[in-house]
A and B are shown apart, each in its own frame.
Chain A
């Protein structure tokens, strides 16, 4: 079982990597959906020996909400956007890829320094979660298109969700649901705002939103 868990976690990080290197909006959203689905399977793999209804429920909700509903909704939000190709990121693709590699290495180093009290189910969970958070953050700050920034935020939340899985047995169901729902509603609101942006400005390039300044 352990090797499947490792594979899933590594796949999550790799998908995050592909996202930072991709320049097509559609591809980014689809990869995010795939990453969420893989992430939804991780609780099963982690708690294989002690499955309860609570864990199954969290997995299912995560897969349905983030793996299918969210991408569908994001595609709806950009249906008016005719140009689906992202402008080059602020620091260029090569640098972004290189930086992602550095961040992944950095997360591994960082997590080797943190001593996790209690049973750490796999050596890869904390590094994978930190890497995903950092790559989501990188995606958020280095891209100009509004939808990509939303996806970056969602990837960050994916990473945080992965970290939260370590505490799944102790966290009450209510809190898990609340977190998932909050993220979903957040993405909803963001999608609506992106829609407004594209209606107002006929593009979703946030580098043009510079009217308010001191």
Chain B
């Protein structure tokens, strides 16, 4: 097989892994929340059923919308999957890696968000517009924090490629740069909660339109479009979560299966943690969310300073 075909095969393998496993994370979160509420809750594979159900349904389009409204979910999904290709998982190397792909990674998410916001504005409804403005405000701050975290990791691993950042060497530096990495982990976790619209930033289960951020933006989508949006948010959570797990858990054992097992249990653990937070905390008042994000920024800055001071020795 030529190099092109093997490259194509590895991309397909990567994508299928992502697509297969991401709704599982949502399922675990739902199960954890149910457990805390004293219920049995929906089965862990429920998100798969939801997506399949939605794929079979028809879509309703408002007459006020344009082609953006129809195209946005597809573009968002495509962008997120493209970002997934840049991301190495346990055992699997990223099919595409080049120097500076971190920036592409961040901005693919930005592209997805951009089109979702456009679609929301496209409907002409004030609810979606409100959600869109909130989403953009918070993403301004979270992107700053995200890039600062990338900077710290780049400083440690001396590489600007995503694979280099979390290539596995980072985990081994825990006993030297422990405090800095802890701060990065906390900061990144806050960013994760913000980007995926989890409590305490946004409540995914709320029905009150005035308190929604992400939910209200996608209020008018239905059928296949909504399936793409749901799937897309699951994939986004999966990708960002695996970035976090790669920093926390070292998996450079030689055995591929061991690596994968550790990785999967890490992801499940992360999902449980998110579920616990969702059950234990309430959503922050909207005007307090920027303070949370500013704290994430300051934590990242502090980690940066520590790395500069410690890294010199």
Most buried by A among B179, B291, B297: B179
Residue of B nearest to A18 (CB): B295
Residue of A nearest to B175 (CB): A3
Residue of A nearest to B302 (CB): A104
A94: chain B residues within 8 A (beta carbon): 290-291, 294
Task: Give the interface size bracket for A toward B.
Answer: 20 to 34
Report if A123-B310 is in contact (Cβ < 8 Å); known contacts: A3-B175, A7-B179, A93-B291: yes
Cβ contacts B175-207/A at 8 Å (1 or 0 each): 110110011000000000000000000000000
Q: A9-17, A26-34, A39-47: which one contacts chain B?
A: A9-17
Question: How many residues in B have their beta carbons less than 8 Å from beta carbons of A?
Answer: 20
CB–CB B179/A123 < 8 A? no
Which label, helix, strand, loop or mixed, suits the secondary structure of the A interface? Answer: helix
Q: Residue A108 at the B interface, CB < 8 A? A: yes
CB–CB A10/B176 < 8 A? no
CB–CB A14/B178 < 8 A? no
Residue of A nearest to B304 (CB): A105
CB–CB A10/B183 < 8 A? yes
CB–CB B309/A108 < 8 A? yes
CB–CB A105/B301 < 8 A? yes
Q: A60-68, A95-103, A180-188, A195-203: which one contacts chain B?
A: A95-103
Q: How far is the CB of B313 from chain A (nearest CB, A)?
A: 7
CB–CB A21/B310 < 8 A? no
Q: Residue B276 at the A interface, CB < 8 A? A: no
Cβ contacts B284-310/A at 8 Å (1 or 0 each): 000000110011011101100110011
A105: chain B residues within 8 A (beta carbon): 301, 305
Q: Residue A86 at the B interface, CB < 8 A? A: no
Q: How far is the CB of A121 from chain B (nearest CB, A)?
A: 13
CB–CB A10/B306 < 8 A? yes
CB–CB A101/B309 < 8 A? no
Q: How far is the CB of B259 from chain A (nearest CB, A)?
A: 26
CB–CB B291/A108 < 8 A? no
Cβ contacts A103-120/B at 8 Å (1 or 0 each): 011001000100000000
Report if A3-B176 is in contact (Cβ < 8 Å); known contacts: A94-B291, A97-B295: yes
CA distance A112 to B176 in the complex (A): 20
CB–CB A7/B294 < 8 A? no
Q: How far is the CB of A105 from chain B (nearest CB, A)?
A: 6
A13: chain B residues within 8 A (beta carbon): 302
Residue of B nearest to A4 (CB): B178
Report if A10-B302 is in contact (Cβ < 8 Å); known contacts: A3-B176, A123-B313: yes
Q: Residue A75 at the B interface, CB < 8 A? A: no
B290: chain A residues within 8 A (beta carbon): 94
Q: Residue A124 at the B interface, CB < 8 A? A: yes
CB–CB B298/A17 < 8 A? yes
A21: chain B residues within 8 A (beta carbon): 291, 295
Q: Which of A10, A98, A101, A112 contacts B179 (CB 8 A)?
A: A10
Report if A6-B179 is in contact (Cβ < 8 Å); known contacts: A97-B295, A123-B310: yes
A151-204 contacts to B, CB under 8 A, are none
B313: chain A residues within 8 A (beta carbon): 123
Residue of A nearest to B182 (CB): A7
Report if A101-B301 is in contact (Cβ < 8 Å); known contacts: A21-B295, A93-B291: yes
Residue of B nearest to A131 (CB): B302
CB–CB B175/A108 < 8 A? no
Most buried by A among B176, B299, B302, B310: B302
CB–CB A97/B291 < 8 A? yes
A127: chain B residues within 8 A (beta carbon): 309
Q: How far is the CB of B187 from chain A (nearest CB, A)?
A: 11
CB–CB A98/B305 < 8 A? no
Residue of B nearest to A112 (CB): B309
CB–CB B309/A123 < 8 A? yes
Residue of A nearest to B298 (CB): A101
Q: Which B positions have Cβ atoms within 8 angstroms of A?
A: 175-176, 178-179, 182-183, 290-291, 294-295, 297-299, 301-302, 305-306, 309-310, 313
8 smallest beta-carbon distances between A and B, as pairs: A101-B298, A10-B179, A7-B179, A97-B294, A108-B305, A6-B179, A3-B178, A123-B309
Q: Which A positions have Cβ atoms within 8 angstroms of B?
A: 3, 6-7, 10, 13-14, 17, 21, 93-94, 97-98, 100-101, 104-105, 108, 112, 123-124, 127
Could you give 22 example pairs across A and B, Cβ below 8 Å?
A3-B175, A3-B176, A3-B178, A6-B179, A6-B310, A7-B179, A7-B182, A10-B179, A10-B183, A10-B302, A10-B306, A94-B291, A94-B294, A97-B294, A98-B294, A101-B297, A101-B302, A105-B301, A105-B305, A108-B305, A123-B309, A124-B306
Knowing that A17-B298, A123-B310 are A-B contacts, what are 14 other residue pairs whose CB atoms are under 8 Å apart, sorted by A's residue number? A3-B178, A6-B310, A10-B302, A14-B299, A14-B302, A21-B291, A97-B294, A97-B298, A100-B298, A101-B298, A104-B302, A105-B301, A108-B309, A124-B309
